[in-house]
């Protein structure tokens, strides 16, 4: 048996061998290599449909890998500096949930920032963990929440010595990083695990010009979205662990919720993307950094806009900044970020990642071209010229400290629930989620008090065109609360 190197892509190679054998399929999926669904085959192509196959002996099984998937995961672990890697086909949502379910049971405490993705709180609903929130500091000019200060993390650990883990965003959606190395050292000194939500940090592993990657900092587990900045297909992700976490136990946790019909389209995309990053990652990420730095300079030269970067670093709540993030403050032209987002899409056919009440995020990665960046810069300049207005009266975007009354699981599964008109819910305990998506950080989560400040924010976000998701009432005219 030949020794595998980062030039290999075991899943891809196995699929290519399978295609050469021209196997007659009497198994699922029922489209039978595309022959049974001609419209879908015309849309996706025969090459794609031919490898949308079921687990079979030569292709291994994601739930219990012993051959090519196992080999691919070993190569991924080596490439990212982990002891073990797991291919995930339920997005980084499933990776995040697997991390929390691995280290927390019902009643266990977990220390984490409140500006987490909803998948984190979903995991606490599933396992019954109790959140110890660290309210992130706020940049009052930009209206964005920052990282966790070391003083706040240390205080939370001292006040909750029985907590099982600390979870860190590395980075936040806006590119802001906490001091993960010090957090790891402090948590480990107090016998706590460190979990990293690295949904937006794949590229950290392949450039010394970027913030420190979680596994390189000594974190115990990291959930990494290769599909966001690493080039793999949407919904594909990886979960990494160190040698202090049981590989077999994590696999059992993953198999509680992950499909038994793992997509070979997703798995092969992870395999190919890992190979690409392992062999060419530094060159690729350097080109992305250079492209974003150029765009940031051009946007700041337009006037009024503020594309922020490392100058925001303060050594604490903004310990470091991901310079591949093209985050742009827009309130100074009298428009919310979501309004610029809508204009770019509707008038210029430019789709950015998201806009909030004060900022726009253009996600730049390995597939972007200089001419596309020129088009974005030009459009932003034109939008300022055409749409600029007085910003007086705009709501100050701010982080709202949640008032947590109950653990998420207790509130979500309560028998004492009723639906009230949104404005009548003040003073009640919410039993569901309300969030702008993206980024998917809850404004309200189960177990939190509905306040007038929260409702003002929700109404303003709706008025500006933010996509509100989470509640049972899709129009968010009513809210489920405890009676």
The CATH code of the domain that includes 362 is 3.90.1150.10
Name the domain count of the chain. 2
| 224 belongs to a structural domain | no
- 296 and 382 belong to one structural domain: yes
- 378 and 416 belong to one structural domain: no
| 105 belongs to a structural domain | no
- 370 and 422 belong to one structural domain: no
- 313 and 355 belong to one structural domain: yes
3-state SS class at 450:
coil
375 burial (CB, 10 Å; 0-12 / 13-18 / 19+) is: middle
- 382 and 418 belong to one structural domain: no
Which of 330, 357, 387 marks a domain boundary? 387
| 292 belongs to a structural domain | yes
- Note down the domain range covering 478: 408-482
| 315 belongs to a structural domain | yes
| 429 belongs to a structural domain | yes
Quick one: residue 191, left, alpha or beta (phi over 0 = left, psi -120 to 50 = alpha)? left
> Tokens for 277?
């990053």
Which of 333, 354, 387 marks a domain boundary? 387
- 373 and 453 belong to one structural domain: no
Residue 454 sits in a domain whose CATH number is 3.90.105.10
- Residue 260: what pLDDT? 94
- 378 and 412 belong to one structural domain: no
- 357 and 425 belong to one structural domain: no
| 209 belongs to a structural domain | no
Count, residues in the chain? 483
DSSP bridge pairs for 206: none
- Residue 140: what pLDDT? 83
- 293 and 379 belong to one structural domain: yes
Which of 387, 421, 454 marks a domain boundary? 387
| 39 belongs to a structural domain | no
User: How are strands ordered across the β-sheet holding 434-436?
Assistant: 441-444, 434-436, 468-469
Q: What parts of the chain have a pLDDT lower than 70?
A: 1-2, 396-399
Q: Is the dihedral of CA 394, 468, 200, 266 positive or negative?
A: negative
- 420 and 453 belong to one structural domain: yes
DSSP secondary structure letter of residue 138: E
Could you tell me if 203 and 69 are in contact, meaning their C-beta atoms sit under 8 angstroms apart?
no
| 349 belongs to a structural domain | yes
């Amino acid at each position: 048996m030949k020794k595998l190197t980062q030039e290999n892509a075991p899943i891809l190679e196995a699929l290519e061998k399978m295609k050469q054998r021209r196997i007659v399929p009497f198994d699922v999926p029922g489209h039978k290599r595309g022959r049974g669904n001609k419209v879908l085959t015309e849309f996706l192509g025969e090459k794609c449909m031919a490898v949308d196959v079921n687990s079979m002996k030569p292709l291994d099984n994601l739930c219990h890998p012993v051959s090519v998937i196992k080999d691919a995961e070993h190569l991924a672990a080596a490439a990212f500096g982990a002891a073990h890697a797991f291919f995930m086909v339920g997005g980084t949502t499933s990776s995040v949930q697997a991390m929390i379910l691995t280290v927390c049971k019902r009643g266990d405490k977990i220390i984490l920032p409140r500006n987490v993705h909803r998948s984190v709180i979903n995991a606490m609903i599933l396992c019954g963990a109790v959140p110890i929130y660290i309210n992130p500091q706020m940049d009052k000019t930009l209206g964005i929440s920052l990282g966790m200060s070391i003083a706040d993390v240390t205080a939370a650990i001292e006040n909750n010595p029985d907590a099982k883990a600390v979870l860190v965003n590395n980075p936040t959606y806006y590119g802001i990083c906490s001091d993960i190395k010090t957090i790891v050292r402090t948590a480990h000194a107090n016998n706590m695990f460190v979990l990293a939500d690295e949904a937006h940090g794949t590229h950290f592993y392949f450039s010394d010009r970027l913030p420190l990657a979680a596994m390189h900092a000594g974190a115990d587990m990291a959930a990494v979205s290769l599909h966001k900045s690493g080039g793999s297909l949407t919904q594909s992700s990886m979960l990494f662990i160190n040698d202090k976490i049981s590989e077999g136990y994590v696999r059992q946790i993953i198999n509680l919720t992950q499909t038994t019909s793992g997509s070979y389209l997703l798995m092969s995309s992870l395999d190919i993307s890992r190979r690409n990053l392992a062999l060419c990652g530094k060159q690729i990420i350097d080109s992305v950094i250079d492209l974003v730095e150029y765009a940031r300079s051009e946007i700041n030269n337009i006037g009024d806009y503020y594309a922020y970067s490392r100058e925001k670093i303060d050594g604490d709540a903004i310990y470091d900044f991901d310079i591949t993030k093209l985050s742009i403050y827009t309130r100074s032209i009298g428009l919310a970020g979501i309004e610029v987002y809508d204009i770019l899409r509707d008038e210029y056919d430019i789709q950015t990642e998201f806009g909030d009440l004060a900022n726009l995020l253009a996600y730049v990665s390995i597939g972007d071209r200089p001419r596309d960046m020129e088009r974005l810069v030009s459009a932003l300049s034109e939008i300022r010229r055409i749409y600029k207005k007085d910003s007086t009266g705009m709501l100050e975007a701010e982080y709202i400290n949640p008032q947590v009354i109950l653990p998420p699981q207790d509130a979500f599964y309560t028998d004492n629930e009723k639906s009230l008109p949104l404005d009548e819910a003040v003073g009640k305990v919410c039993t569901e989620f309300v969030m702008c998506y993206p980024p998917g950080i809850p404004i309200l989560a189960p177990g939190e008090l509905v306040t007038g400040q929260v409702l003002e924010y929700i109404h303003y976000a709706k008025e500006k065109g933010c996509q509100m998701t989470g509640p049972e009432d899709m129009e968010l005219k009513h809210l489920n609360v405890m009676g």
